[in-house]
Structure 1
Amino acid sequence: MIEFFERPDGTPPANGYSHAARGAGRLVAVSGQLPVDPQGVLVGAEDALAQARQVFANLGTALAAAGARPPELLRLTFFLTDLADLPAVRTARDEFLGDGPLPTSSLVQVVGLVLPGARIEIDALAVVDDSAAPHAG
Structure 2
Amino acid sequence: MRAERLSPAGLAPPEEPYVHAVRAGDTLYIAGQVAFDEHNRVVGAGDPRAQIEQCWRNVEVVLRSQGGSLHDVVKIVCYFKDIRHFPIELEVRGELFGDGPFPVATVVQVANLGLDSLLVEIDATAVLAA
- With normalisation by structure 1, the TM-score equals 0.73
Counterpart residue number, 1:43: 43
User: Aligned residues: percent identity?
Assistant: 32
Distance 1:85 1:97 in 2: 19
What per-residue deviation string (whole Å, max 9, x for no partner) do you get for residues 56-113 of structure 1?
0111011111222111111000000101101111111112212220100101110010
Distance 1:93 1:40 in 2: 23
AA at the equivalent of 2:128: V
Higher-Rg member (1/2): 1
* Partner secondary structure for residue 113 of structure 2: coil
AA at the equivalent of 1:126: A
Distance 2:42 2:98 in 1: 25
AA at the equivalent of 2:42: L
Counterpart residue number, 2:10: none
Q: Where in structure 1 are there 5+ consecutive unaligned residues?
A: 1-24, 131-137
Task: Give 4+ residue runs of structure 1 displaced > 6 Å after superposition.
Answer: none
Alignment of 1:9-20 (within 5 A): none
Q: Where in structure 2 are there 5+ consecutive unaligned residues?
A: 1-24
**CA displacement at 1:114 relative to structure 2:** 1.8
Distance 1:29 1:41 in 2: 23
The number of residue pairs the alignment matches comes to 106
Counterpart residue number, 1:79: 79
AA at the equivalent of 1:26: D
